[in-house]
Amino acid sequence: MFSMETLDAYQEGKVLLIDKPLNWTSFQVVNKLRWEIRQAFSIKKIKVGHAGTLDPLATGLLVICTGKMTKQIDTFQGQIKEYTGTLVLGSTTPSFDLETEINETFPTDHISEDLIYKTTNQFVGEIQQFPPVFSALKKDGKRLYEFARAGEHVDIPSRAVSISEFEITKIDKLNLDFRVVCSKGTYIRSLAHDFGKMLNNGAHLSSLRRTKIGDFSVDNAVGVLAFEKAFKAI
């Protein structure tokens, strides 16, 4: 859990586990923590970075590194990740989540619970995945979401990702709760979209929460407000 430290500790390097709030970007969280540390210790600059972006509509674990620990960011980014969330059958969106409006709907009468459970097996192991066009990946020096928002078509190559566990934990009509354990670079939005396609249907992500990165767990993370309050008390 979070505890206050000296300036030397932050400069030498700390790993902070933050539970990212809904609608915040990962960049905003980093900026907020950097500002609070600078204000608390009256310093002009300190290195702060995160080990793996979360979409604004996702919540959960952000591993934040300060000072010399920022050199370990690549190591943390490469570790196995666990997510929980909900996907919705019967409809798709251009962004594969709720950032954009539903653009197509599908009849779902043919989809049984047995078919849903069996289909998860198709995604366990190494799979080829196309990143969402609404993503921060770059092509020709431009973010993919810039092409998407301008209505421009762009060819995105697929890439290999590894999924070690994928389970449906609850079925509530068209809403499927799931848990997935996967490699770096896996897009859960794409997984939801592809799951719908595998059912000869459509699907999109309605909620997402990152619960683990390697041995780090969101159970040991603190919220941004808790971090801010602790620093205000210095």
SS3 string, 57-90, reads CEEEEEEEEEHHHHHHHHHHHCCCEEEEEEEEEC
* C-beta separation of 24 from 224 below 8 A: yes
- 94-141 pLDDT per residue, tens: 999 998 899 999 999 999 999 999 999 999 999 999 888 766 666 666
Looking at the structure, tell me whether residues 69 and 117 fall in a common domain. Answer: no
Q: What percentage of the chain has pLDDT greater than the value 70? A: 88
Looking at the structure, tell me whether residues 36 and 85 fall in a common domain. Answer: no
Query: pTM of the predicted model, to two decimals?
Result: 0.91
The range of the structural domain enclosing residue 221 comes to 7-78+215-232
Question: 190 φ, ψ to 5°?
Answer: -65, -35
Give the residue-averaged pLDDT of 22-51: 94
CA 176 vs. chain centroid, Å, equals: 18
Looking at the structure, tell me whether residues 100 and 204 fall in a common domain. Answer: yes
Looking at the structure, tell me whether residues 89 and 203 fall in a common domain. Answer: yes
| pLDDT value of residue 150 | 61
Total domains present in the chain: 2
Could you tell me if residue 28 is inside a domain?
yes
Could you tell me if residue 1 is inside a domain?
no
Looking at the structure, tell me whether residues 222 and 204 fall in a common domain. Answer: no
| pLDDT value of residue 214 | 97
Looking at the structure, tell me whether residues 51 and 106 fall in a common domain. Answer: no
| pLDDT value of residue 138 | 62
More confident residue, 193 or 153: 193
Could you tell me if residue 2 is inside a domain?
no
- 159-177 pLDDT per residue, tens: 999 999 999 999 999 999 9
- Write down the mean pLDDT value for the chain: 91
Q: Catalytic pick from 55, 74, 109, 215?
A: 55
Could you tell me if residue 161 is inside a domain?
yes
Could you tell me if residue 166 is inside a domain?
yes
Could you tell me if residue 141 is inside a domain?
yes
Looking at the structure, tell me whether residues 86 and 33 fall in a common domain. Answer: no
Answer yes or no: is pLDDT of 4 > 60.
Answer: no
Looking at the structure, tell me whether residues 98 and 165 fall in a common domain. Answer: yes
Looking at the structure, tell me whether residues 130 and 192 fall in a common domain. Answer: yes
Looking at the structure, tell me whether residues 71 and 137 fall in a common domain. Answer: no
Confidence grade of residue 5 (pLDDT, cut at 50, 70, 90): confident
| pLDDT value of residue 1 | 44
Confidence grade of residue 229 (pLDDT, cut at 50, 70, 90): confident
CATH assignment at residue 165 = 3.30.2350.10
Looking at the structure, tell me whether residues 100 and 58 fall in a common domain. Answer: no
Answer yes or no: is pLDDT of 207 > 90.
Answer: yes
Could you tell me if residue 55 is inside a domain?
yes
More confident residue, 186 or 133: 186
Looking at the structure, tell me whether residues 13 and 31 fall in a common domain. Answer: yes
Answer yes or no: is pLDDT of 215 > 50.
Answer: yes
* C-beta separation of 201 from 90 below 8 A: yes
Could you tell me if residue 156 is inside a domain?
yes
Active site residue 109: no
More confident residue, 192 or 157: 192
Q: CA-CA distances (angstroms) from residue 42 to 11, 29, 49, 61?
A: 13, 20, 19, 28
* C-beta separation of 96 from 192 below 8 A: yes
Exposure pattern of 13-24 as b/e (b: 16+ CB <10 Å)? Answer: ebebbbbbeeeb
